[in-house]
Structure 1
Amino acid sequence: MTGTVERYLTELDPVDADVIGRVYAVAREVVPDVEEGLGYGMPALIYRGKPLLSVIRAKQHIGLYPFSAAVVSAVAEQVALVAGSSTSKGTIRFQPTSPLPDEVVRALVTARRVEIDGA
C-alpha cells in the first residue's frame, strides 16, 4: 500500500500530525530505504519486508510500535525521562505536548534496523 503513512497523517489533527510526522521523518533519516505499508493493520514504515515502526494516535496518547519488545527495552530508560511517557512490552506511549526527542527516536529506529538486518 503506497502512501499509507502519508494518507494517515492527513486524517489527523494538525498538532498530532506534526508530532507523528516528525517521528516518521526521523525514522526515514536513519533508514532512508523504507517503504510505506501496514504492520499489524497499522500504517507503518517497512524495511526489508518487515515492519520497522508504526506511530498512531490513540485516545489518550500517541503510541509508537517498533514491533519488538527488545527494542522497547533498549530505549526504556531514555523514554522514562520524557514527561508523560511510558512503555510496555511492545509499545511506547507519549503525549503530543511532550514528544520523544529525536535522539530517542534515532536510537529506537537504529536498534530495530539492526534487529531486522540480523534476522
Structure 2
Amino acid sequence: METQAAPQSAHKDVDAYLAQVRPEFAAALQNVRRLILSVAPDAKEMISYGVPNYKWHGPLVSFGAATKHCAFYGMSPKVLERFKDDLAGFSTSPGTIRFTPDTPIPEAVLASIIEARMAENLETEAARAAKKKK
C-alpha cells in the first residue's frame, strides 16, 4: 500500500523518509532537498519531529509531505513574512508554505528564503554570544 504522507516514526534518515512518500511528492521534495544543500552545503541533515530538518548555526529549514500537499517549513514567521508577495497563490501560515508537485515554490524564492534564514541564524548566534559576554 502506497502512502501519501510518510509515517512519523518509520524513517531514520531523509532517504528513508523520501522512500515512503508518494513518488511525485518524493520527487518534489528531493528538489527542495537538493536546493537546500546547494545553498547551505554545510547544513546538517537529520530527521527531527518526524520530518527532514536542516541545521546550520541552529535550526534552518525543514520540509515534509502531507496527504494532499508538500510543506516547506521556514522556521521563522518573520522571514517568511518578507516573502509574502513572492508566495502569493501558495497556502501559507506563519513559518509554513504548502505546495504541490504541480505548483512548486520557485527555486529563486526558496533559495532567498534559505539565505535569509542563514543570515537570521548568524544574527541570533551573534546576539547570544554578545549577551554571554556581558
Q: TM-score, normalised by structure 2?
A: 0.77
Corresponding position of 2:119: 114
- Once the two structures are superposed, residues 7-48 of structure 1 have per-residue CA deviations (whole angstroms, 9 ceiling, x without a partner) of 211111221111011111111111110111244443211112
Structure 2, unaligned stretches of length 5 or more? 1-11, 125-134
More strand by share: 1
Q: Which has the larger radius of gyration?
A: 2
Residue 60 in structure 1 maps to residue 68 in structure 2: yes
Q: Does 2:82 correspond to 1:74?
A: yes
Identity of counterpart residues, as a percentage?
Answer: 33
Amino acid at match of 1:16: F
The answer to whether residue 98 in structure 2 is matched with residue 93 in structure 1 is yes
Q: Do the aligned partners of residues 40 and 118 (structure 1) sit closer, same or farther apart at CA in structure 2, a change above 3 Å counting?
A: farther
CA distance in 1, matches of 2:17, 2:59: 16
From 22, 26, 48, the equivalent of 1:17 is 26
Using the TM superposition, give the Cα deviation of residue 89 of structure 1 relative to its aligned residue in structure 2, in angstroms: 1.1
Counterparts in 2 of 1:86 and 1:67: CA distance versus 1, 3 Å: same
Unpaired runs of 5+ in structure 1?
Answer: none
Provide the TM-score with structure 1 as the length reference. 0.85
SS at match of 2:63: strand
Deviation at 1:68, TM superposition (A): 0.7
